[in-house]
Structure 1
Amino acid sequence: MRILQIVPSISLIYGGPSQMVLGLAPALAREGVEVTILTTNSNGDRGQKSLDVPLNTPIKQDGYEIIYFRSAPFRRYKFSLDLLKWLNFHAHKFDLAHIHALFSPVSSVAAAICRHQKLPYILRPLGTLDPADIRKKRQLKKFYALMLESANIARAAAMHFTSIQEAKISERFGVATRDLVIPLGVIPSQEDGESTLRQQWSIPVDVPLVLFMSRIDPKKGLNLLIPALEKLLAAGLNFHFVLAGTNPQDPDYEEKIKSQIYNSCLRSHTTITGFVTGELKSALLQAADIFVLPSYYENFGIAVAEAMAAGTPVIISDQVHICQEVHESESGWVSKLEVPTLTELLRIALQNPYECQRRGLRAKEYALQHYSWDAIARQMIEAYKNILVQR
């Protein structure tokens, strides 16, 4: 099989969507699939330098190839006319396209090209069909869907959702779809830099570390988490909070959150790292005693799965769509979207280290069994084959 993976950007600064494609591609290649990723050199939306990569030429890595195209002229929207021209010319050489993103111009036009070229394609909406997300720009999305995306959805071979809950609540704009539910995978952390990290930031070994690692965005629930942590400090609980993440699309909100922490009692109990990757990211996931993500909506939550794979118990909201899996596997705790419940669950976790340890072990066991990239690649290949046989 020759499979195209099309994604607006694979810069890790954009978080989950990039990690998914970079995890899936080598796993598919290990199973004998020929994979080509089409993407742009976009690397942030507010003045960051573009990725320093060769353009318009295949680059071989980890058993697959990737082709970068210049993101221009609308950098914020990660648009590339060169990518679309390449796809239009080469689409007939491939068996299927897996397109990651809706309501993104390059992905939308790519799907239209696949329709025209009669290349079957799968769409992964990345949570953009969640009613909570649609409400933010309802009229614009309705118009966009009317003009382009509804036809893309209607003609897609399948819609790839990463959780049953995401598939259940997603808007379809009146179009019937074939749903494919396959979760995301994670690469377990290998490095153990916990002691070095604590020394670097002067965090005593006996002080619990509470980790938030995600994009700093209003939907992530920091307006619930910060007051909850303040209440715990006021009640005399001792911990160290690590805020790891950034927001290249809304730096003003990021600065607002930082200012809120600097002007509160949390200031002397908090380390703000900015965007993390590589060894530092692995060390943080392993050093954390509790990972917390009280999002207002989250189609999967790749950072949650990564924390689980590192053996860290999680506290998430009931709007993170793997909350049922977390609850049933006892990998952590699930909170309502309210400060009192979140505060109470954090208090329980902080005051019961042995229970945290037990749930961390359950989390690791569950993640390694269900979020292995090799296992997910095999599920994906079976789905690809079924689509091609039916067509």
Structure 2
Amino acid sequence: MNYLRIIATMDPKSGGPCQGIRNSVPVQKKAGIENEVLCFDDPNAEFLKQSDLLIHALGPAIGPYAFSKGLKPWLEENLKRFDVAIIHGLWLYNSYGTFKVWNALKKRNKKVPELFVMPHGMLDPYFQKARSRKLKAIRNWFFWNIIEKQVVNGASGLLFTCERELELARETFNHYKPKKELNVGYGIPQPPDFDKKVSKVFYRKCAGLSRKPFWLFLSRIHPKKGVDILVEAYTRLKAENFEVPELVIAGPGLDTKFGFKIREMGKKQGIYFPGMLTGFEKWSAFHLCEIFILPSHQENFGIAIVEAMACKKPVLITDKVNIWKEISTENAGYISKDNKQGVYEMLKNWYHMKLAEKAEISSNAFKLYLNKFCVEKTARNMVHQIENGEKIETEPFTRFLRMDA
């Protein structure tokens, strides 16, 4: 079986979708699935040279719609080689451009693969309702009615990262009638073991941070992530003389207007802002922290949340994170409303929790990762659902995992 993944960019800085491809392709290869990636990046981009994947780069793309004149001829020549094609993301040319070629070939009775769309949360109603997105919401409404509705309803089906994403996609636009809705899941590889020597690199980025466990926020410094209400809740706890652990807020975006505001808010509280953490710096932060906190106003999946659970860390999140039900059901973390009072109560309740309860939640977090969010399972589940239209209901793929991690 040959799969084609079509995505606007494979730049790691673009976030989850391209990382999901990098995570799942090696696992699917073990199951006999060969993947090729089609993107609109500059073929000379450094991050492409460092990749082991077979990537066809047709860029650089043109304009905010990421148009690529090379897409149509490439697909007309190569689409017949594949059994399945998956469009990753909406609202850019890789979506409608691919569908248009696929549909035209299909009408001419040419051999075409099944075509699936993986929205990666881009059909979430939040993006049409958020006050800060009024103009983009209007743009998306026009795009939906003129272009994207054809893609979503005309493709072979939609692939979702979790059940809540699937449910929310039904609420956003009128005339939403996909042929199939498949919850294929989403996962990450097991993280590297903790390395005390490497952890020194992380501590150098947080000069003055004690060697005691700290609370960790690791994501974009952006209003959607709720980092401002986290700082306010943390400030309130300290003002009430709670001896809370130190707080590390890591991620890109400190150089924005909002990022500058957050730094100013956190200065008096001694909050640490190491910037974006990658590689072993990031994994050291997960391994060393006591808890991971992401009080987001909207999160389709939250790869960082699962990375924390894979490091046996409880996760404190809001009910606007689409995997909150799975975490709540398995007692793998703490869930709050995405407002100041909700986040404050969540942090305070965690602070007062007994050590035995905290240890149990840590254990549950790791078990949930193994059972539901390990890429060895989810990558194969995608293949199984595409071929059979149903989930794999089996034990996790523990034979691939270091259970003593």
The TM-score, its normalising length taken from structure 2, stands at: 0.84
Q: Does 1:30 align with 2:36?
A: no
Q: 1:53 to 1:373 in 2, by over 3 A?
A: closer
> Of 377, 380, 383, which residue of structure 2 is paired with 1:378?
380
Does residue 107 (structure 1) correspond to residue 95 (structure 2)? The answer is: yes
**2:164 is the alignment partner of 1:159:** no
CA distance in 2, matches of 1:255, 1:335: 27
Instruction: Give percent identity, aligned residues only.
Output: 27
Once the two structures are superposed, residues 72-101 of structure 1 have per-residue CA deviations (whole angstroms, 9 ceiling, x without a partner) of 322x44433224431232111111111110
Q: How does 1:256-295 map to 2 (within 5 A)?
A: 256-267=257-268, 269-295=270-296
| Residues 249 and 271 in structure 2, CA contact (< 8 A), matched pair in contact too | yes
Q: Map Cα deviations across residues 117-142 of structure 1 (whole Å, 9 max, x no partner).
A: 33321111121111111233332112
Aligned to 1:67: 56
Report if aligned partners of 2:186, 2:378 keep a CA contact under 8 Å in 1: yes
8 Å CA contact retained: 1:289, 1:356 = no
* Paired letter, 1:126: H
**Larger displacement relative to structure 2 (213-222 or 186-195):** 186-195
Contact 1:91 1:117 in 2 (8 A): no
1:352 aligns with 2:337: no
Shift of 1:4: 0.4
TM-superposition CA deviations, 1:250-305 (whole Å, max 9, x none): x8xx5234322332354552222222221111111111111111111112111111
For residues 104 and 3 of structure 1, the distance between their equivalents in structure 2, rounded to whole angstroms, comes to 21
Structure 1 residue corresponding to 2:117, chosen from 103, 123, 127: 123
- In 2, the alpha carbon distance for the partners of 1:330 and 1:368 equals 14
Q: Say if 1:15 and 1:215, in contact at 8 Å, map to a contact too.
A: no
| Match status 1:5 vs 2:11 | no
CA shift, 1:150, in A, is 0.6
Structure 1 residues 99 and 93 mapped into 2: Cα distance closer, same or farther (>3 Å)? same
CA distance in 2, matches of 1:288, 1:276: 14
Give how far 1:172 is off.
4.7
CA RMSD of aligned residues (A): 2.4
2:286–2:313 contact (8 Å) kept in structure 1: yes
Q: In structure 1, what is the Cα distance between the partners aligned to 2:366 and 2:74?
A: 42
| 1:240 pairs with 2:239 | no
How many aligned residue pairs are there?
369
Alpha-carbon deviations, 1:330-359, whole Å to 9, x = none?
111000121112112112223436233321
Look up the SS of the partner of 2:60 in the other structure.
coil
Letter matched to residue 194 of structure 2: D
Unpaired runs of 5+ residues, structure 1, are 44-49
Aligned CA distance change for structure 1 residues 107 and 42 (closer, same or farther; 3 Å): farther
**C-alpha distance in 1 between matches for 2:344 and 2:176:** 41
TM-score, with length taken from structure 1: 0.87
- Segment of structure 1 superposing worse, 351-360 or 236-245: 351-360
Deviates more, 1:109-118 or 1:225-234: 109-118
SS state at 1:272 partner = strand
* CA distance in structure 2 between the aligned counterparts of 1:77 and 1:235, rounded to whole angstroms: 49
How far apart are 1:386 and its partner, in Å?
3.0
Deviation >6 Å, runs of 4+: none
Q: Are 1:90 and 2:91 an aligned pair?
A: no
Kept in 2, the 8 Å contact 1:290–1:356? The answer is: no
Structure 1 counterpart of 2:105, one-letter code: Q
Shift of 1:317: 0.6
Report SS of the residue matched to 1:122.
strand
Distance 1:107 1:224, change over 3 A: same
Per-residue deviation, residues 183-215 of structure 1 (Å, max 9, x unmatched): 210122214146535753332233x41111122
The structure 1 residue matched to 2:46, chosen from 46, 52, 66, is: 52
Aligned to 2:223: 218
> Relative to 1, partners in 2 of residues 1:285 and 1:108: Cα closer, same or farther, differing over 3 Å?
farther
User: Which SS does the other structure have where 1:296 is aligned?
Assistant: coil
Paired with 1:262 and 1:92, the residues of 2 have a C-alpha distance of 52
State how far apart, in whole Å, the 2-side matches of 1:98 and 1:267 are. 48
Would the aligned equivalents of 1:239 and 1:269 in 2 still touch at CA under 8 Å? no
Letter in 2 for 1:123: V
Superposition map of 1:355-370 within 5 A: 355-370=357-372
Pick the aligned partner of 1:180 from 179, 182, 198.
182
Q: Out of 171, 191, 200, which is 1:196 matched to?
A: 200
Q: Is the 8 A contact 1:313 1:332 kept in 2?
A: yes
Q: Report the Cα distance in structure 2 between the residues aligned to 1:60 and 1:290, rounded to whole angstroms.
A: 32
8 Å CA contact 2:228–2:262 kept in 1: the answer is no
Inter-partner Cα distance in structure 2 for 1:142 and 1:210: 40
Aligned with 2:128 (options 125, 134, 159): 134
What is aligned with 2:395? none
